[in-house]
Chain A
């Protein structure tokens, strides 16, 4: 444990040295290392592509997602309907595009929320120490002692409504603990270092020290954890929606498309295949991207 910590400190010091020389060099170094990671580049490209499709869905989708056409029910994938049509004759690819908006939004916003809350809590605990630290870390301990999946099931079943905000709220409320521990341990070792002492001696305010010196230097693990969290939350949302506790129809999400499809999976397996594969590809891309970012930003990170 101790040697690992020391090695991390060395790694960080080395990095800080690079950063002090020119900011350009570190960014370029990261980019060079990232580019070498072929799967990460592929994962990043796929993630960007899927996000663009989701954003541009209103212009790209060939049909309205809620447009029912009973004459075209159960259409197998064809040229007019590349992903086929569902039990109400709705175009599956259009629905999948709009569902992507929901599923990706949940992933991005939950991960962002977790990063912000986790960073604030982690910096506060690490910087102030004492009572603040004890209280925050006991809360983290307690939250981490409750099994996640049952907890999400229970929260999703008990909170009324079927919207996006509700799911994000649940994910952020219980998801920030991991990031806060990461940030706290970074801050604990950073605040001992000379440059923080120097900033304090120069009369920098506490807020300035935190925002200008501590957070930027703890950024690498935050970025990696947040990237991996996007995939994790997309998986979480789809699991909840699949069980009927997440995003409620008629709003399409990949999870609830899969839930509807499972009833018809024996006769119309394409209905389950496309949303399932989309969830899988998205999560896989973010896992590639996160791993690549870890190797590029700091190979010794243990996120």
Chain B
């Protein structure tokens, strides 16, 4: 097991190396750089622009720029410098990372708390009225674009004045005591977290229902019933425990998506997370911010997959890696 984990970790190195190369190539493909707009600005002299170009290392050939960027990451964990904000990229990403994590973790917790019981309920009452209603709702969940449901909820919040419309904090946030601050963020969190959780729980519920139906057809479930076991222990002790295994893989994916899953919604509701940072940086051609965000997102993704594999091996004794 330990050998397997170490092996997988070693495999991540060439993988992430490939990711850095791809993100660098993609970003260099784009025409123009951060300085092209400055060049058009008559107030800024061409000497200043040239000095900045040298300063940022943009005058060097591409492969040198790439290697320098890579070396800084490896040696110092330094992702480069933001042209637009004049701060290190790691600092900038760090300031947004927490916001994205808060949003996605809230959605993750809600989704699992809602989806698992509902999935079990639907599977044990297949084709009943409640199963049909819940399965239909799940279809709606996976088909609704988050930007549309987000927009509708913002409209609802505006009409009813029950919830704040967009953003993460109120204007007078700084004057609140600490519990007021928590409450304020929580109120802003309701809409985006609901939207994300609706989509996520829809997929999760469908998966749970499908897995459980599959397991309920197995011989050992019939055996359990045949030996006179009550229905509850049959479902919860025998069936559910086996049906939950495939969900562990999904859990890993969700861990991997913690930083990137809300990218579009963040831009709709104005949540100041990584997704918004990427879009802002793209508009300003702030190269290193974009590359850094993509790299952080990728690392999270591959680590999430690894976590899923390890958890699955612990949860399911039938899986052996040696």
Instruction: Identify the A interface with B (CB < 8 A).
Output: 1, 39, 138, 141-143, 145-151, 153-155, 157-160, 231, 235, 238-239, 242-243, 258, 262, 265-266, 269, 272, 276, 279-280, 283-284, 287-288
Contacts and interface: CB of A to CB of B under 8 A. Distances in A.
A265 B145 contact: no
Given A145-B19, A145-B301, A154-B294, A276 B278 contact: no
Given A138-B18, A279-B145, A288-B139, A155 B26 contact: yes
A266 B155 contact: yes
Contacts of A145: 15-16, 18-19, 298, 301-302
Interface in B256-276: 256-257, 259-261, 263-264, 267-268, 274-275
A158 B155 contact: no
The list of the 6 closest CB pairs from A to B, nearest first, reads A147-B260, A158-B30, A142-B18, A284-B143, A157-B282, A147-B297
Contacts of A158: 26-27, 29-30, 282
B301 A265 contact: no
Interface of B: 14-16, 18-19, 22-23, 26-27, 29-31, 139-140, 142-148, 151-152, 155, 158, 256-257, 259-261, 263-264, 267-268, 274-275, 278-279, 282-283, 290, 293-294, 297-298, 300-302, 319
A238 B151 CA distance: 14
Nearest to A39: B139
Contacts of B148: 258, 272, 276, 279-280
B155 A243 contact: no
Contacts of B18: 138, 141-142, 145
A8 to B, nearest CB: 13
Given A1-B319, A141-B15, A157-B279, A231 B143 contact: yes
Interface of chain B: mostly helix, strand, loop or mixed: helix
B263 A284 contact: no
Contact of B263 (A142, A150, A155, A279): A150
Contact of A243 (B142, B264, B297): B264
29 contacts: A39-B139, A138-B18, A141-B15, A142-B18, A145-B18, A146-B22, A147-B260, A147-B263, A149-B263, A149-B275, A153-B278, A153-B282, A154-B294, A157-B282, A159-B29, A160-B31, A242-B264, A242-B268, A243-B264, A243-B267, A258-B151, A272-B151, A272-B155, A276-B152, A279-B148, A283-B143, A284-B139, A284-B140, A287-B143
A239 B145 contact: yes
A265 B151 contact: yes
Contacts of B275: 149-150, 153
Contacts of A142: 15, 18-19, 22
Nearest to A259: B147
A142 B24 CA distance: 14
A265 B155 CA distance: 7
Contacts of A154: 26-27, 278, 282, 290, 294
B36 to A, nearest CB: 13
A272 B152 CA distance: 9
A151 B290 CA distance: 10
A141 to B, nearest CB: 6
A276 B145 contact: yes
B278 A150 contact: yes
Given A153-B263, A155-B26, A265-B155, A147 B301 contact: yes
A287 B155 CA distance: 27
Contacts of A160: 30-31
B143 A147 contact: no
Contact of B294 (A146, A265, A266): A146
